Amino acid sequence: MANINVKEYQPEARTTKNRLSWLWAEYSVIIAFIILFIGSSVLNPRFLDINNQLNILMQVSIIGIIAMGMTVVMLSGGIDLSVGSVLALAGVISVLALNASGSILVGVLTALLVGSFAGFLNGLMVAKGRIASFIATLGMMAGARSIALYIADGGSVSGEVSGFTAIANSDFWIFDVPVLIFFAMTALVYVLMHKIRFGRYVYALGSNEKAALLSAIRVDRMKIGVYTLIGTLVGVAAVIETSRLNSISSSSSGAQYELDAIAAVIIGGTRMTGGRGKIIGTLFGVLILGILNNMMNLMNVSPHLQGFVKGLIIIIAVVFQKRE
């Protein structure tokens, strides 16, 4: 259109009070994280130990990778309950492929493929079948677990290729490789959501699906893409999970991962109904969960009570969100 001189936008001055309330609204999860971090250091001196810190990161890496995918799904207005089961299924099949082929690459690719295919099926059910994501992925949760159990005959399968365990058990500089993979996946999802149009469309879809469609967005394809993405990330998580102990259990691996991932996303400030939330928020949500677990271990809280504490935190986070 016509040429006119373009002025750069000048942000107006903010008052201090406004700035503080804005800071709180935007970054409440980071502030909560800092408070928790300081509180933990005071409560238990061992908390600050660098090895403990790195340990926390290692412990959250698998849930963290899944939570990144979960953020995208929840921003689009859906949910994925099948992540734990799909992780077990991808793990089992990839170990079989690994052992049969003797190639680590084939094992890894199989995990990714199984994960993304399961996600793709979820996406198809939600987008084309118009099934509520809660129901569709609940079905996948039961189905994937059952197939994993069937293939592994209810037990565990172990890798027989040397070198496979190196993926999750080596480190690079001071970081364990899974932690680096977690960071890389976080960066990847960040770019997807904020630097290219994919993210825009996901936010639009989660905020107002009808308007997104009328804005000429391929809503169905976006949904399929979103579930395929989380499936692929679950595949990545499955590789780490399997490689860590060189085996995967068809019955217990991945159990309740969906709860932890959803908890991290909610604590991170993403709205349950979609459209609003941040990748960075989820990152800190994951870290908060990690610190809580770690502190409860350090302070010898009974493992049976840890679920209670986690549940409480989720509810508090949601109450805070509601207040907005």
Residues that bind other proteins (CB under 8 A): 1, 4, 6-9, 11-15, 18, 22, 195-197, 200, 203-204, 206-208, 210-218, 275-276
Nearest distance, CB of residue 318 and other proteins, angstroms: 18
Query: How far, in Å, CA of 120 to CA of 296, rounded?
Result: 37
Closer CB to other proteins, residue 6 or residue 50? Answer: 6
Nearer to other proteins, 130 or 210 (CB): 210
- Beta carbon nearer to other proteins, 169 or 218: 218
- Residue 269 falls in which region: left (phi positive, over 0), alpha (psi -120 to 50) or beta: left
**Count of alpha carbons within 13 angstroms of residue 123, beta-carbon side:** 23
Bridge partners of residue 176, in order along the sequence: 171
Specify the residue, 183 or 200, whose C-beta has the smaller distance to other proteins: 200
Q: How far is the CB of 275 from other proteins (least distance, A)?
A: 4
The answer to whether 185 touches 279, Cβ cutoff 8 Å, is: no
Q: How far is the CB of 317 from other proteins (least distance, A)?
A: 19
CB of 23 to other proteins, least distance (A): 13
Beta carbon of residue 62, minimum distance to other proteins (angstroms, whole number): 30
The dihedral formed by the CA atoms of 258, 133, 266 and 40, expressed in degrees to the nearest 10: 0
Q: What DSSP string describes 154-189?
A: TSEEE--STTTTHHHH-EETTEEHHHHHHHHHHHHH
Pick 1 or 50: Cβ nearer other proteins: 1
Nearer to other proteins, 22 or 150 (CB): 22
Query: What distances in angstroms separate CA 37 from CA 66, 92, 160, 267, 314, one per listed residue?
Result: 23, 37, 41, 15, 18
- Which residue from 78, 285, 71, 80 is spatially nearest to 193, judged by alpha carbons? 71
The answer to whether the Cα torsion of 279, 298, 311, 29 is positive or negative is negative
Minimum distance from CB of 116 to other proteins (Å)? 21
User: With respect to other proteins, which residue has the nearer C-beta, 115 or 277?
Assistant: 277
The dihedral through the CA atoms of 269, 274, 278, 282 has a sign that is positive
Tell the smallest beta-carbon distance from residue 74 to other proteins (Å). 13
Cα(259)–Cα(204) distance, rounded to whole angstroms?
26
124 vs 200, beta carbon nearer other proteins = 200
**Shortest separation between residue 100's beta carbon and other proteins, angstroms:** 38
Q: Do residues 43 and 299 touch, judged by C-beta distance below 8 A? A: yes
How is residue 30 annotated by DSSP? H
- 164 is written with which tokens? 């496979």
